[in-house]
Chains A and B, each alone.
Chain A
Amino acid sequence: VQLQESGPGLVKPSQTLSLTCTVSGGAINSGGYYWNWIRQHPGKGLEWIGYIYYSGRTYYNPSLKSRVSISMDTSKNQFSLKLDSVTVADTAVYYCASRVGGGSGSFPAWGQGTLVTVSS
């Protein structure tokens, strides 16, 4: 499975950040996979944002839950992230990553990441 993020690199404060992850090498709804978003603030560590399961079920990090939405488009083999009401604190490299259900809870496949800057 290969993953590739896409979306605007600049978002204004208070607006909505929207990113898409295109999956290749397998169908997004083929079963057993969790499709995740993870971010990394500049020079900092990694923060898990949430996932969407192949069935459409979602789960979000409680720290971001009120602002996050993850959806999937099976016709395009993509899943997407929306983060509302962004501030400069949301400036980060955003990664999409896959996790195999029933596995070890780890992420063997990642996109290359996309930098999103929140600035007016």
Chain B
Amino acid sequence: DIVLTQSPGTLSLSPGERATLSCRASQSVNSSYLAWYQQKPGQAPRLLIHATSRRASGIPDRFSGRGSGTDFILTISRLEPEDFALYYCQQFGNSPLCSFGPGTKLEIK
């Protein structure tokens, strides 16, 4: 089975700074099938990015994604107070068909 690893586990930054979150897969992921989600306490995950770099509907352009193969990056160009949350990457297609990374917690420094 594919394993997704996210780093860092926790990222401490200040509003206005740039955040770079990493997602590494144990085997190659089709770039059409790599997504990122944001989750706040008590809420369901919200789709941010799909197909590696396509922003979902209503997502601000400070969120961007890139990558290929086994290495993918989510960048938040200038952090807003509402961006401090948990972030998950998700792959589709490799066994077990769909899986998520363990998450990166983005916290206020």
Contact surface of A with B, Cβ cutoff 8 Å: 36, 45-48, 59, 61-63, 95, 97, 103-108, 110-113
Q: How far is the CB of A12 from chain B (nearest CB, A)?
A: 26
Q: How far is the CB of A44 from chain B (nearest CB, A)?
A: 8
Contact surface of B with A, Cβ cutoff 8 Å: 32-33, 35, 37, 43-47, 50-51, 54, 56-57, 88, 90-93, 95-103
Contact check: which of B47, B93, B95 meets A107 at CB < 8 Å?
B47
8 contacts between A and B (CB under 8 A): A46-B45, A48-B97, A48-B100, A61-B98, A95-B45, A104-B33, A105-B98, A106-B51
Count of inter-chain pairs, beta carbons less than 8 A: 67
Residues of B within 8 A of A62 (CB): 95-96
Contact A45 B97 (CB under 8 A): no
* Chain A minimum-CB-distance residue to B29: A105
The answer for the CA separation of A63 and B97 in the assembled complex, in Å, is 11
Q: How far is the CB of B12 from chain A (nearest CB, A)?
A: 19
Contact check: which of B37, B56, B92 meets A105 at CB < 8 Å?
B92
Contact A45 B96 (CB under 8 A): no
Contact A104 B32 (CB under 8 A): yes
